[in-house]
Amino acid sequence: MGGKWLVIQEARLGDLIQSVPLIGQISTRGNRAVLLVRSGVVSAARSLSVAEDVREWPAFGDPATGRPLANRLSEAREFVGTLRREGFERAVVLNHHGTGILLARLLNIPISGFDRLLDKNGDEGVSGRLSGWPGYLVASSRGIRGLNRIHLSDMWRGFGGDPIPESFPPSKSKRSGPVVVVLGGRSPYRRWEPASILSLVKSLRRIDGGDVILSGGPEDALLGDLLEREAGEGVRNMAGKTGIEELSRLLSEAGVVVSPDTAPLHLAALRGVPTVGLFFASALHFETGAYREGALSLVSAMECYPCAGEGADCSHRSCRNDPDPEVLARIVAGVRRGESGRSLGETYSGRLPGIELWEAGGSSSGLLQSLRTPRSLTRERILARLLRRFYWRYLSGTETLPELHSELLMESGDPELPLFQNSGGLPLSLWFCRLGQGAELYVRLRELGIEGPQREKMLDRLASDFPMMWPLLHHLEWVEGGAGSIAPLVTAFHALVREASEVSSLAGRLPGKIRTNKEWTHVAI
């Protein structure tokens, strides 16, 4: 019989739902997960049965309560003492927040996940360098986000000790329920244009013929009423009219759920309902797409995507005008009929300018996204897949990966893998050859254990001479401080050097496009 683990989740409802795979993993491996969440989501966590035991953060940490500081400190000591007496075996801290980290440290038990805040100066105490999956989560959100190909749920699985999923249940197909259209989240960056939503609803009624239900929070109620009046028969507004239990039932009975990157999208996926996610602005489908086999994502192909998000000071927000509502309605109707993402991509690829259609699929190395509207591979897209494979080997310590060629097919969507040759003045083959050379030099630096001014000088030279190494240096040096585990790092880098060489070799032989050669042991680009 395992022990009792305290899972500290301080984020909002969407992130709470995306931590369900970790909580399930803890339970299936014989441990009891106790979930500690903020007051705003505790009722939702209990209603959705996210964990068997859900606790609420006491209000002592909120200065807005107006209670005397001495009383709040007394309550804090009592709270920590109560948790200590429960005999928790481990704390898993999912957020880069000081309160959860401090609580876990006060319990004086082993900590998985965030055990400190990032401080690039490496100061001791509750701040310093981050390593492992927490280090990657911070690095992927603070500098290499556009290259990230690892889902947040899989990162959190890694916090629990093993990111390898038990299974990925598929979405239920050929659903007869209504189409639920989620109007958007609290942020204006996560809201589709009202005119586009109205056009989508009218198109759905004409093309699909089924009922449409509008969903959202209290802030969406007035917009929902307006859309209901304008759209006419067969459209019902439920925005602001459902608690979490009613929302869960509504989504569970839906034929398809269409939503931006919001909590209802993740809740629908949790319930096995087919979803079509709309990803633009700062929402990244690789990171927070619906965690379910077969989930579809329509993603902005604008050069500025993904943007910095909230506070990005984008004056036009034109990415919210895509995709074309008529085409989206036809895709949603196809999903409800049980059509696959591949089939829908073949049908509508030419009618989605500025938009990419991606389909989620499970693998032994987490959730993977496959492009269903083919396009040329750029060096950045290839680099993103190479980095995903590097980090999976380094952080999970396993080689449970698809073949490189298979992953690159996912990134291109074209069996012939056309290559875009613009590589900033360098031939594409040479660019990836240089990546391999830079990786070899960095491994040598780490194996020799060079420190001090000589190390700083070598790192500066490496960053200058091999700019394609910056995503790795950002994580391994700025976040980890060059202190990550050396053995898995060397293994992962050797694999990266080999795969970069394969990419370089084939790009040199076939400068126009990539084709499969079944005689090769490792088919790559």
The pLDDT tens digits for 396-421 are 988 889 999 899 999 998 877 776 65
pLDDT in tens, 209-248: 899 999 998 989 999 999 999 998 999 999 999 999 999 9
User: What is the CATH code for 179-371?
Assistant: 3.40.50.2000
User: What is d(CA 135, CA 130) in angstroms, rounded to the nearest whole number?
Assistant: 5
Q: Beta-strand (E) ranges in 261-407?
A: 275-279, 296-300, 355-361, 368-371
Higher confidence at residue 124 or residue 357?
357
Confidence at residue 309, expressed as pLDDT on a 0 to 100 scale: 58
Smallest Cα–Cα separation from 198: which of 297, 348, 317, 329? 329
148 or 302: which leads in pLDDT? 148
CA 231 vs. chain centroid, Å, equals: 34
Rounded mean pLDDT, 481-491: 90
**Which amino acid, residue 523?**
V
- State how far the alpha carbon of 411 is from the alpha carbons of 57, 63, 223, 251, in Å: 42, 48, 37, 30
pLDDT at 89: 95
**Using 50, 70 and 90 to split pLDDT, how confident is the model at 142?**
confident
Digit-coded pLDDT (tens) for 425-442: 567 788 888 999 999 999
pLDDT at 518: 31
Question: What is the DSSP code (8-state) at residue 270?
Answer: H
What number of other Cβ atoms are within 10 A of residue 7's Cβ? 29
Residue 524: the pLDDT is 26
Q: How confident is the model at residue 29 (pLDDT cuts 50, 70, 90)?
A: confident
- Judged against a pLDDT cut of 60, whether residue 63 lies above it is answered with no
**Over pLDDT 90: what percentage of the chain?**
58
- What distance in Å separates the CA atoms of residue 149 and residue 145, rounded to the nearest whole number? 9
**What is the Cα–Cα distance from 328 to 323, expressed in whole angstroms?**
7
How does residue 125 score in pLDDT terms, banded at 50, 70 and 90?
Answer: low
Q: What residue type is assigned to position 269 of the chain?
A: A
The reported pTM is 0.91
The predicted model gives 47-72 an average pLDDT of 79
Q: What is the pLDDT of residue 440?
A: 93
Average pLDDT, the chain: 86
Select from 157, 179, 312, 193 the least CA-distant residue to 256.
179
Q: What pLDDT, on a 0 to 100 scale, did the predictor assign at position 263?
A: 93
**Distance (Å, rounded) from C-alpha 199 to C-alpha 192?**
12
User: Cα 37 to chain center, whole Å?
Assistant: 20
pLDDT digit string, tens, across residues 361-397 = 999 899 999 999 998 888 889 999 999 999 999 999 8
pLDDT at 60: 67
**Residue 135 binned pLDDT confidence (cut-offs 50, 70, 90):** very high
Residue with tokens 């067969």: 234
Residue 352 pLDDT more than 90? no
Please tell me the predicted confidence (pLDDT) of residue 516: 34
pLDDT value of position 419 = 67
CATH superfamily of 4-159: Glycogen Phosphorylase B; (3.40.50.2000)
Count the residues in the chain: 525
Answer with the residue of higher pLDDT: 524 or 444. 444
Sign of the four-CA dihedral 146, 151, 157, 162: negative
Over residues 434-455, the mean pLDDT reads 90
Residue 520 pLDDT exceeds 50: no
**What is the pLDDT, as a whole number, of residue 313?**
63
User: Which of 260-264, 344-348, 417-421 shows the lowest per-residue confidence on average (mean pLDDT)?
Assistant: 417-421
Exposure of 502 in the CB half-sphere (CA atoms within 13 A) = 22
To the nearest whole percent, how much of the chain has pLDDT over 70?
86
- 260 and 299 in contact (C-beta within 8 Å)? no
Query: Hey, where are the domains in the chain?
Result: 4-159, 179-371, 381-509
Better-predicted residue by pLDDT, 480 or 175: 480
Q: Is the pLDDT of residue 161 over 90?
A: no
Residue pair 33/54 in contact (Cβ under 8 Å)? The answer is no
Residue 65 has what pLDDT?
63
Calculate the CA dihedral of residues 334, 337, 342, 346 and round it to 10 degrees.
-40
Least trusted range by pLDDT, from 267-281, 294-308, 312-326: 312-326
DSSP string, 211-254: -EEEE--GGGHHHHHHHHHHH-TTEEE-TTS--HHHHHHHHHT-
